[in-house]
């Protein structure tokens, strides 16, 4: 890393740690993901007795403890969007680019810092959600040493990190926090779920970043599952989405007037 990029990374770290939104979005992500995962785990434990054989075969205690991810990821999305798009809404972008006219260095230093933070928080969230979720599951619980479990837990942290990166790319393209959230929130909370639950669109929905990426958190493959990719394949699809959004964000920043 060149001298200049080190300076910019330090600067971006100061930016990110000096605004309140960083703390509240990230803590919300941890709390919501973990709490919701615990709740669903407790409910699943009570329901297990009334499940049919198929349900019991598909029962995935690890995946169940990540049930809060769908909600918790929304806070990570807000974090990613605010880190990038607040530069535009506040007008700070002009001050920032006057200090760092190399726009690629500026954007990727910002993304690097936010990604590192998201990775730490995402991993902590994932391990917390797993252990506390398993505690709720009683004797149905999985152990971190079971086949595929450690991969799923680490994958949960990677998933949170990638969804944050994807949001930052989208925010860099749309250059407005409100617009970015108006696109990302309904997309991940509604559209993706609707596509997944309608049989005609189910096969398309599988290739969306969140659905492909969340495959990594699965340990037990559901009985009638015909998903054409495995856990790492799914994460790979998500990585492609992330790369596309970051490239798009970079091209917009590079081309447009600040």
Nearer to another protein, 22 or 62 (CB): 22
Give the residue, chosen from 54, 56, 94, 203, that forms a contact with another protein under the rule CB under 8 A. 94
CA–CA gap between residue 135 and residue 38 (Å, rounded)? 8
CA atoms within 13 A on the CB side of 54: 4
* Three-class secondary structure of residue 18 per DSSP: coil
Please report how close the Cβ of residue 178 comes to another protein at its closest, in angstroms. Answer: 16
Q: Is 18 in the site for another protein (CB under 8 A)?
A: yes
Nearer to another protein, 162 or 253 (CB): 253
Nearer to another protein, 53 or 98 (CB): 98
| 125 in Cβ contact with 157 (< 8 Å) | yes
| 122 in Cβ contact with 216 (< 8 Å) | no
CA–CA gap between residue 109 and residue 227 (Å, rounded)? 36
Nearer to another protein, 25 or 125 (CB): 25
Q: Is 14 in the site for another protein (CB under 8 A)?
A: yes
| 235 in Cβ contact with 215 (< 8 Å) | yes
Please report how close the Cβ of residue 83 comes to another protein at its closest, in angstroms. Answer: 11
Please report how close the Cβ of residue 114 comes to another protein at its closest, in angstroms. Answer: 14
Q: How far is CA 226 from the centre of its chain?
A: 24
CA–CA gap between residue 243 and residue 240 (Å, rounded)? 5
| 81 in Cβ contact with 50 (< 8 Å) | no
Selected range binding another protein among 4-12, 60-68, 114-122, 199-207, rule: CB under 8 A: 4-12
Q: Is 19 in the site for another protein (CB under 8 A)?
A: yes
Residue in 188, 249, 246, 185 with CA at minimum distance from that of residue 213: 188
Selected range binding another protein among 67-75, 100-108, 202-210, 230-238, rule: CB under 8 A: 100-108
Q: Is 176 in the site for another protein (CB under 8 A)?
A: no
Q: Please, which of residues 198-257 interact with another protein by CB under 8 A?
A: 257
Q: Is 20 in the site for another protein (CB under 8 A)?
A: yes
Q: Is 11 in the site for another protein (CB under 8 A)?
A: yes
Burial annotation 161-183 (CB, 10 A radius, 16+ → b, else e): bbbbbbbbbbbbbbbebebbbeb
Give the residue, chosen from 58, 102, 193, 221, that forms a contact with another protein under the rule CB under 8 A. 102
Q: Is 99 in the site for another protein (CB under 8 A)?
A: yes
| Site of interaction with another protein (CB under 8 A) | 3-4, 7-8, 10-12, 14-15, 18-21, 86-87, 90-102, 257-258
């Amino acid at each position: 890393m060149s001298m200049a990029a080190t300076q910019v990374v330090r600067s971006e770290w100061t930016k990110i740690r000096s605004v309140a939104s960083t703390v509240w979005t990230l803590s919300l992500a941890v709390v919501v993901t973990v709490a919701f995962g615990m709740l669903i785990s407790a409910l699943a434990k009570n329901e297990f007795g009334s499940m049919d054989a198929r349900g019991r075969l598909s029962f995935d205690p690890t995946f169940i403890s990540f049930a809060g991810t769908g909600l918790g990821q929304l806070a990570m999305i807000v974090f990613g969007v605010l880190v990038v798009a607040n530069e535009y809404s506040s007008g700070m972008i002009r001050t920032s680019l006057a200090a760092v006219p190399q726009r690629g260095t500026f954007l990727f230093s910002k993304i690097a810092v936010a990604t590192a933070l998201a990775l730490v928080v995402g991993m902590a969230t994932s391990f917390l959600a797993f252990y506390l979720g398993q505690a709720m599951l009683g004797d149905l619980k999985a152990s971190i040493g079971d086949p595929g479990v450690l991969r799923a837990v680490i994958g949960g942290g990677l998933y949170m990190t990638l969804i944050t990166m994807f949001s930052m790319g989208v925010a860099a393209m749309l250059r407005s926090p409100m617009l970015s959230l108006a696109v990302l929130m309904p997309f991940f909370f509604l559209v993706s779920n609707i596509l997944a639950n309608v049989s005609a669109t189910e096969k398309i929905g599988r290739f969306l970043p969140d659905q492909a990426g969340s495959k990594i958190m699965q340990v037990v493959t559901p009985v009638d599952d015909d998903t054409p990719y495995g856990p790492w394949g799914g994460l790979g699809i998500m990585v492609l989405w992330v790369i596309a959004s970051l490239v798009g964000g970079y091209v917009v920043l590079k081309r447009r007037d600040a």
